[in-house]
Amino acid sequence: MLSIENLKAKIDEKEILKGLNLNIKPGEVHAIMGPNGSGKSTLSNILSGKKGYEVNGNIKFEGENLLELETEERAHKGIFLAFQYPLEIPGVNTNTFLKTSINAIKKARGEKELDAIEFLKLIKQKSSELKFDQAILNRQLNVGFSGGEKKKNEILQMSILDPKLSILDETDSGLDIDALRIVSEGVNSLRNKNNSFLIITHYQRLLDYIKPDFVHLLKNGQIIKSGNFELAKELEKVGYENFN
């Protein structure tokens, strides 16, 4: 589904990713762990097409050259990024935002757009599946949301937009244990043989709830070690500095 070959990225002349390789097949859950400044967030930004990076290397998503696509085109193809810091957009209702977003994607895919009733039905179904309180959907997008509410909102958006590849950028940061469990259950309920996940995290605790198929250690802009869930435990035990 996704193959990254020798990915290098610079921002303001500073090299952050220095030749990264990664392959994700449909249905797989990969976790990328690494210390602060190792390039984790850069990777998620480059996958979703944030501007401002000088990028070299190859990224193929379902056979297509991802680097040639605009951010919104990647979203149309099924890439979803759950932001580490979801943005506040004053005055815009979360419902309105979601409806605009889902219809933009459906339109790009040549599917029929949802009318108001179908949309309401969909979010009602999704939020009850995820056990989220629908009330936040009537509030302005992320404005005045607690950290936990913002992250739950990201997961709800993920479930409604039904992406092929979901990237979770430090989704666990700032979550208490209950919110962490709810978010993880949400992610787990979306796992199936077609959908893939890339989970970026500093800590192992999220991975206790979302068991990844593969764990990669990112350090100094490269994946220096890959393994299964056991690697995550090991990392947590001995610390990043002891891996070279």
Partner 1 sequence: MTTKKQEFKMDSRQKEIENLKDYKYGFSTDIENIRAPKGLSEEVIKFISKIKKEPEWMLNFRLKAFERFKQLKEPNWQKPKYPKIDYQDLYYYSAPKSMKDKPKSLDELDPKLLETYKKLGIPLQEQARLNGIAVDAVFDSVSVATTFKEELTKQGIIFCSMSEAIQKHSELVKKYLGTVIPTTDHFFATLNSAVFTDGSFVYIPEGVKCPMELSTYFRINASETGQFERTLIIADKGSYVSYLEGCTAPMRDENQLHAANVELIALDDAEIKYSTVQNWYPGDKDGKGGIYNFVTKRGLCKGKNSKISWTQVETGSAITWKYPSCILKGDNSVGEFYSIAITNNHQKADTGTKMIHLGKNTKSKIISKGISAGQSDMMYRGLVDISSKADNSRNFTQCDSLLMGNKCGAHTIPYIKNKNLKSNIEHEATTSKISDEQLYYCNQRGLNQEEAVSLIVNGFCKEVLQQLPMEFAVEAQKLVGISLEGSVG
Number of residues that bind partner 1 (CB under 8 A): 31
- DSSP designation for 141: T
Q: 5, 54, 70, 118: which one contacts partner 1 (CB under 8 A)?
A: 70
Q: Which of 216, 157, 213 is nearest to 190 (CA)?
A: 157
Binding string, 93-132, against partner 1, x = CB under 8 A? Answer: ---xx--xxx-xx--x------------------------
Q: Are 215 and 198 in contact (CB under 8 A)?
A: no
Site for partner 1 in 135-164 (CB under 8 A): 140-141, 157, 161
CA angle 172, 176, 182 (to 5 degrees): 70
87: contact with partner 1 by CB under 8 A? yes
Q: 13, 14, 51, 242: which one contacts partner 1 (CB under 8 A)?
A: 51
**Residue number with CB closer to partner 1 (150 or 219):** 150
42: contact with partner 1 by CB under 8 A? no
Query: In the chain, which ranges are continuous DSSP H helix?
Result: 40-48, 71-77, 94-108, 116-129, 147-161, 177-190, 205-209, 229-238
Q: Which of 221, 205, 192, 199 is nearest to 6 (CA)?
A: 221
CA distance 243 to 213: 21
92: contact with partner 1 by CB under 8 A? yes
> Which positions touch partner 1 (CB under 8 A)?
48-51, 70-72, 74-76, 80-81, 83, 86-87, 89-92, 96-97, 100-102, 104-105, 108, 140-141, 157, 161
